[in-house]
Amino acid sequence: MKEIKVFKSSIFKDNRGTLWTSWLKNKKLKLVFNHDKFSISKKKVLRGLHYDNKTWKLISCVYGRVFFVVVDCRKNSKNYLKTFSVILNSKENIQILVPPNFANGHLCLSKECVFHYKLSYRGNYSDVNSQKVLKWNDTRLDIKWPIKKDIVLSNRDK
């Protein structure tokens, strides 16, 4: 899907470790990120699929490995309910930019993972209560989750 942007940060490595930039103001995108969040999950925890109509999200995995999914929820789109998925991990520094009206979710594949998202929203931030939710196993979506048994979900995502 052309609306989903994938960024790969350049990495500086030396004997001390690594350094990379997670976001640098971009003249083409003109986004201002005004909220950051982290989630720490154990293996088999699935978070999402959540979305709203005003928030851009820049997604990355800063520790571990996650299976990340995006779903087009724009009812007038030719890609309505089509999915995009990718494995994100802390070694490759790939980031995914998710526009408003696209649901996203992730499944922790490693023993533990740290998921980071930067939020750019218009107006007031709409947290949990105003987000919409798609079921992770909705049969209209053709998501090939790499783990199918013993998935750990919140009450909201069940």
Quote the pLDDT of residue 67.
Answer: 98
Q: Is residue 30 pLDDT above 90, yes or no?
A: no
pTM of the model: 0.91
pLDDT exceeds cutoff 80 at 112: yes
Q: What CATH code would you report for 1-10+32-123+130-152?
A: 2.60.120.10
Name the pLDDT band for 147 (thresholds 50, 70, 90).
Answer: very high
Q: Looking at residues 121-142, what average pLDDT do you find?
A: 83
> Of 59, 37, 65, 90, which is closest to residue 147 (Cα–Cα)?
65
- The CA distances from residue 43 to 86, 112, 127, 129, 136, in Å, are 17, 6, 25, 26, 16
pLDDT at 125: 66
Place of tokens 């999200």: 57
User: pLDDT tens across 56-110, in order?
Assistant: 999 999 999 999 999 999 999 999 999 999 999 988 889 999 999 999 999 999 9
Confidence band of 32 (pLDDT split at 50, 70, 90): confident
Structure tokens at 152: 């750990």
33 secondary structure, DSSP code = -
> Cβ distance 118 to 57 under 8 Å?
yes
Q: Which amino acid is located at 25 in the chain?
A: K
Burial of 47 (0-12, 13-18, 19+ CB in 10 A): buried
Task: Tell me which residue of 70, 52, 77 sits closest to 129, measured CA to CA.
Answer: 52
In the chain, what percentage of residues exceed pLDDT 90?
Answer: 67
Confidence at residue 104, expressed as pLDDT on a 0 to 100 scale:
97
